[in-house]
Structure 1
Amino acid sequence: MRTTRKIAVVTSALAATAVAAAPAAASAQAAPAFVAYHNVSAAQSAEKVRRLKAQGYRPITVNVSDGERYAAVWVKGGSAQWGIWQGMSTAGYQKRFEAALKEGAQPVSVSATGPAGSAVFTAVFEKKTGKIYARHGLTGGQFAAANTYAAGMGLALTSVDAYGTPDDVRYVAVWSTNPGGAWHYTYGKGREQHEAEFYARQKKGFRPVKVAVAPDGTYAAVWRKDGLKSWAHYIDMSAAGYQARFGQLQAKGLYPVQVNAEDGKYAAVWE
């Protein structure tokens, strides 16, 4: 993968209102070596990418919001065949997606911000096999229809973000091989609706594994029944609130596996 103008890229072998939290178990597994940051500029993000790659880390979740401010979580080790891009236009993301597929890579985390006609994308691609279905620029109805189509192919929603404007919310999503467990998705839920959904799903053994904040203040989420006992999920956090929650949960042995923001509101999932 080559560097393109306005796109920071790292290559490898590829050329606070809490909705709820599950208490961390005393015997929670030790978190892997990880680095997380949020609310950094494009230039700061590019510098972190260069430094973290050199130190042997790889990104597991990325987010862009609020006039191209970046957030991400990196873990040490794992696949060496990945690439990360930022500052892409809609056309740029489509071009990168098509090139990645030819190289045997798939998007594993995609985020976008800004109006549909001038959105900015960031994405992580990894070299992997299996079926994949990815769409962007979707309205709510189109997102629902795409999910039905992908589920019919036996795929699961593995990455989702909302962008656009309050009166024109759009979705970018990736469906890929199901990592395991029954799953559901929701979108267009206000804070109280999302909270009610959380408790209803939790009673049935489901937990949120992906969450996205939309420009109109609603939430999209992926719920999975995977039996994990130690995890946490919070929404409606400020940047400072997210940082404070980060510290509290790290002390309990949990680390963020997905972070998302829009209009200064953060949501995240810890494991």
Structure 2
Amino acid sequence: MLRNGTDSDTYYGVTSAEHEERSKSLKAGGYRVRSLSVFGAPPNVKYAAVWSKAEGAEFETIASADEVTFNSWYESWKNKGYVSTHVSATGPVGSAVFAGVMEQADISERLKCGMDTPYAYANATMGLNMLVKGVSVYGSPTNRRYCIVGHENIGNRKQSTYYQTDTVVFDYEKTYSAEIQKRFWRPTYLDVTNDHLVSSLFEDTSVGKWESKVGLTESQLKAEVEAQAKKGLSLLQLQGGGNGDDVVYTAIFAEHTTPLSQNWNANGKVVGFEDNDAVTSALDATMRNWMEWNGIRQAQVAIAREGNLLGERAFTLAESDRAVVQPTDKMLLGSVSKMFTHAATQRLIDDGLLNLTTTVYPLLGYKPSDERANNITVEHLVHHTAGYDRAVSGDIGFMFREVARSKNSSSPQTLRDMIEYMVDRPLDFTPGDGGYAYSNFGTMLLSYVVTNLTGTPYVEFLKERVLTGGLEAELFATAAEKHVNDPVVQETRYTNFSPLFPQEEVLVPNTAGGDGDIKEEAVGSFGLRASASTIARFIGKNAVWTIGGRDWMNSRDGSVSGARSYARSEGQENYDWAVILNSRDFTSDEQWSSLVYTALPDIWAANKIVEA
């Protein structure tokens, strides 16, 4: 079956001879391979391919090769400076048929075939961060083999991979549903085995409008190609699997055949330095270089003194279909949220409702099973010495699903439910005995104290008593559908089961509870969103780490799925600053450290503050 167009040519269900003849003709006519698939049982294999007319580097193709021939061809062209761009294989392990494309390119590439597990690919990459370009699963259902090709992931593009194996079989429809809840994510490759299992790759690049289909018969594929063409969408990927009348296809259609480029935008004012232009230029250059290297699309940086802004900049490195972030936009804070809970606690102390030595559980009317817990004070919770060690007993802030299932409950757990669960468990160490263990639960418990003593919902209390002088912060709701129009996209590559449906296997992005949290209940620990400007102003008068007023020479780091943040109160010149990113999926912790401990502090140190 042939589908011809002026700028593209698609065929499927053709023989090896037809494919090779067509390949020669199309290559001579200035076409390039966009997608390639070989499927069925040797020697009567079938091919599907998509070609597009475009200029580009020299390339070579191979078809219907056995493993030895394919490997020899690959090594030969690799030695001439070519890299693999497409690979496909079908048939039994001992008599598999291979096809592929290589083109001349100066990029690090890794192609590995014959693997009995796809996870062996990591050993073939020699430590390089790779972006998988294609996967082909061949062999039999009880003896599968894998070909995977990847290119060095320059710019740290985000990707999720789902390989079908004998022991791990992904439900594609559930996987697809979870992945597209991550805004701007889409399938980029859908391999299908001869027994119709779909291995899938997803990315967050943009190609305009798109659609994907799986399980298409040949007649359905023909109709789909025609229907999508009327919508202005063309085939990007086409893979086949099966034999004879049992052949099915996967197809991906898109408005653009290559991903949209990313645009740079920096906005906001720097007003409090002797040379504001120099600070602006230094900030913009530093953040652009860092974001390009680490694949971060949205960020904010702000600096203030005594609550007055000296500078605020918002940075966007993203495709044209995404919003340009503004200095006033709110971004997820992670654990930087804790300083608002500490400030709320300080207000209660100022009101005479609490003091640092107040024992918390007796105040709330609980009788813990571990008597030592009766001695936990407000101060213990603030300083992470209350006896809760997540390295020993798990991090309760990310165990909402686990707790519900332990009680056979189908209801999402509340903060009160989580407290009652913890009250029945033994402590990990004696409160105040000199032990320290960072605890999300401690701040969650403090937020409950605020609500319990005041009768005011925690976030409302923040707005009434803590967020003064035009400062703004709010809950970051858990459900993904709450954020479809947010200007800031909190990005993560990961998905897992939702705590909102604890007895069901509903997959959601980690930012939407897939990491086990319910932010409405853990808001006092890591569930707020605010701007970097709000953070920099706030810590000019409130402690960034402990409790009380400005916390001289101290800092707080926030990290949660979809966000990374940092806030610091400096010493000599009494200024405060913050940086927030819309993802924590950057290349390494060393990169983050270089930004917050060296690059940004060096800019402040090199430029004299003269006030706004």
State which of 233, 239, 242 in structure 2 corresponds to 1:254: 233
Q: 1:178, CA displacement in angstroms? A: 2.8
CA offsets, 1:5-46, max 9 Å, x none? xxxxxxxxxxxxxxxxxxxxxxxxxx9811000001111112
Q: Deviations over 1:101-142 (max 9, x none)?
A: 111111101101100110001101100011111111122xx3
Tell me if structure 2 keeps the 8 A contact 1:169–1:215: no
- Which residue number corresponds to residue 45 of structure 1? 19
2:88 to 93, 102, 111: 111
Cα–Cα, structure 1 residues 149 and 123, in superposed 2: closer, same or farther, change >3 Å? closer
Q: Which residue of 2 aligns with 1:135?
A: 112
- The aligned residue for residue 392 of structure 2 is none
The question of 1:198 aligning with 2:176 is answered yes
The higher relative CO (CA closer than 8 Å, separation ≥ 6) is in 1
Structure 1 position 148, deviation (Å): 6.8
Runs of 4+ in 1 over 6 A off after TM superposition: 189-192
Aligned residue in 1 for 2:119 = 144
**Structure with the higher helix share, 1 or 2:** 2
Query: For structure 1, which segment, 187-196 or 124-133, has the greater mean C-alpha deviation from structure 2 after superposition?
Result: 187-196
Cα distance, 1:192 vs structure 2: 7.8
- List aligned pairs for 1:20-59, cutoff 5 A: 33-59=7-33
Residue of structure 2 aligned with 1:185, choices 142, 146, 161: 161
| 1:239 equivalent in alignment to 2:218 | yes
Q: Deviations over 1:129-168 (max 9, x none)?
A: 11111111122xx312314764941111111111111222
How has the CA–CA distance of structure 1 residues 97 and 168 changed in structure 2, closer, same or farther, with 3 Å as cutoff? same
Instruction: Indicate the residue corresponding to 2:485 in structure 1.
Output: none
Tell me if 1:83 matches 2:60. Answer: yes
Aligned to 1:64: 38
Structure 1 residue ranges without an equivalent (≥5): 1-30
Residues in 1 aligned to 2:231 and 2:172: alpha-carbon distance in whole angstroms:
25
Distance in 2 separating the partners of 1:106 and 1:256: 23
The answer for unaligned runs of 5 or more in structure 2 is 255-612
**Partners of 2:57 and 2:105 within 8 A in 1:** no
Distance 1:94 1:149 in 2: 15
Per the alignment, do residues 93 and 199 of structure 1 end up closer, same or farther by CA in structure 2, a change over 3 Å counting? same
In structure 1, the residue corresponding to 2:164 is in which secondary structure? strand
Report if the CA contact (8 A) 2:34-2:50 is conserved. Answer: yes
2:251 partner letter: A
Structure with the larger strand share: 1
Q: Specify whether residues 52 and 113 from structure 1 end up closer, same or farther in structure 2 by C-alpha distance, changes over 3 A only.
A: same
Q: Which stretch shifts more, 151-160 or 59-68? A: 151-160
TM norm structure 2: 0.37
Question: Which AA in structure 1 matches 2:174?
Answer: A
Q: Which residue of 2 aligns with 1:214?
A: 193
**Residues 55/187 of structure 1: CA separation in 2 closer, same or farther (3 Å cut):** same
The answer to whether residue 205 in structure 2 is matched with residue 226 in structure 1 is yes
2:140 maps to 165
Distance 2:36 2:88 in 1: 7
Matched, 1:175 2:153: no
1:107 aligned partner, one-letter code: S
Out of 250, 271, 285, the residue aligned to residue 267 of structure 1 is 250
Question: Counterpart amino acid of 1:33?
Answer: D
Amino acid corresponding to residue 52 of structure 1 in structure 2: L
**Cα offset, 1:61, TM superposition:** 1.4
CA contact (8 A) 1:147 1:157 kept: no
> Percent identical across equivalent pairs?
26
Which residue in 2 is equivalent to 1:24? none
| Contact 2:137–2:193 under 8 Å retained in 1 | yes
Local SS of the residue matching 2:180: helix
Q: Matches of 2:66 and 2:93 in 1, distance apart?
A: 10
Residues in 1 aligned to 2:82 and 2:21: alpha-carbon distance in whole angstroms = 24
Rounded to whole Å, the distance in 2 between the matches of 1:241 and 1:144 is 34
Shift in CA distance, 64/55, structure 1 to aligned 2, threshold 3 Å? same
Measure how far apart 1:261 and its partner are: 1.0
Amino acid corresponding to residue 108 of structure 2 in structure 1: K
**SS class of match (1:244):** helix
Measure the CA separation in 1 of the matches of 2:14 and 2:149: 25
Larger Rg: 2
Deviates more, 1:72-81 or 1:108-117: 72-81
State the SS of the aligned residue for 1:204: coil
> Partner of 1:217: helix, strand, or coil?
coil
Root-mean-square deviation over aligned CA pairs: 2.1
Contact preservation (8 Å) 1:167, 1:216: no
Cα deviation, residue 241, structure 1: 1.3
Equivalent position of 2:317 in the other structure: none
The 2-side partners of 1:134 and 1:79 are apart by: 21
> What TM-score does the superposition give when structure 1 sets the normalisation length?
0.82
The separation in 2 between residues aligned to 1:267 and 1:132, in whole angstroms, is: 26
Equivalent residues, number:
239
- Give the distance between the partners of 1:250 and 1:151, measured in 2 at CA: 42
- Residue 156 in structure 1 maps to residue 135 in structure 2: no
